[in-house]
Amino acid sequence: MLWLIGLGIALAEPEAPTEFGIIPNDVAHAARETAGLPLAQRMKAISDPLLGLPYEIDGHGEGLPPDADPPARYDAFDCLTFLEEVLALALSGDPVSAPLIRNALRYQGGIPTYANRHHFMMAQWIPANLEAGFLEDITHTLGETHRIEKSVSQAVWKNWAGTKRFSLPLSALPTGRYGMNVLSLDAAEAAIDHIPSGAIIFTVRRPKPWKPIVISHVGFVIPTEEGGPVLMRHATKMGGGSVRDHLLSWYIDHLRWYKRPVEGISVLMPIEQGPRKARIAYEK
């Protein structure tokens, strides 16, 4: 089965294991076979077997209340859990170690509890993973950027209808002033050919004073043949909802037509870990 939406590609859905948390053989095989390749190539190979899987919002949890969904599953993803799983498998030395990386990406201190989860991208997930050394902000290297700032208070959380989706007391919700470097859509379009494979693309909405959420989507750039188009791989609601590839140029243009205006994109680069990181430092 093949869908084309702005040359977005979704392949036939692969067979998924019936038990949650079991890494499919083809995914584990791809992780082991590409262990010595550059990170972007590992990310692509690991996620190739996942193309076509359905989109499901908030289908992952801690396996216990208040979110009893499984910590890992390979039959459906939303945009963030797809990214986390691919990074966990690509950054680990072996698939058996992927849960350690996943927990480190997803939870404060790597401790997998609902209260410790990085629920909010700009306030928690991004700054925590920048500080931990999993990511580097490269937005400013790709063109002219501007800075967006967002102030979030308890009053904002209290008055926002979406707050009720989180099983957290008001006092546990993050407050403060947060900021990001952003490429406007025009600047992002001009930078497409300079965005490196493996880079993570964050869709940044125009801040609203009454809404604590700014980032609405995430995907990553996959390697293509030299001279080929730049593709973003993501779990998306578009086209019925699936893991799929889109031309990055098409996606950026698509953002211009959102009902809630888009400020632009931010681009972060995942960083090698462990022995691979040491090897790169030595080779330099």
What was the pLDDT predicted at 227?
81
How far, in Å, CA of 124 to CA of 128, rounded? 6
Phi first, then psi: what are they for 145, rounded to 5°? -115, 165
What was the pLDDT predicted at 284?
52
- Global pTM reads 0.91
CA distance from start to end of the chain? 45
Per the structure, the count of domains in the chain is: 1
What was the pLDDT predicted at 19?
59
What was the pLDDT predicted at 215?
97
How far, in Å, CA of 57 to CA of 78, rounded? 5
Containing structural domain, residue 71: 3-283
What was the pLDDT predicted at 8?
43
Query: How far apart, in Å, are the Cα atoms of 140 and each of 125, 135, 181, 183?
Result: 20, 14, 7, 8
Q: How many CB atoms lie under 10 A from the CB of residue 147? A: 9
Which residue positions in the chain have pLDDT lower than 50? 1-18, 281-282
Domain of 226, CATH number, reads 2.30.260.10
What was the pLDDT predicted at 17?
42
Q: How many CB atoms lie under 10 A from the CB of residue 218? A: 24
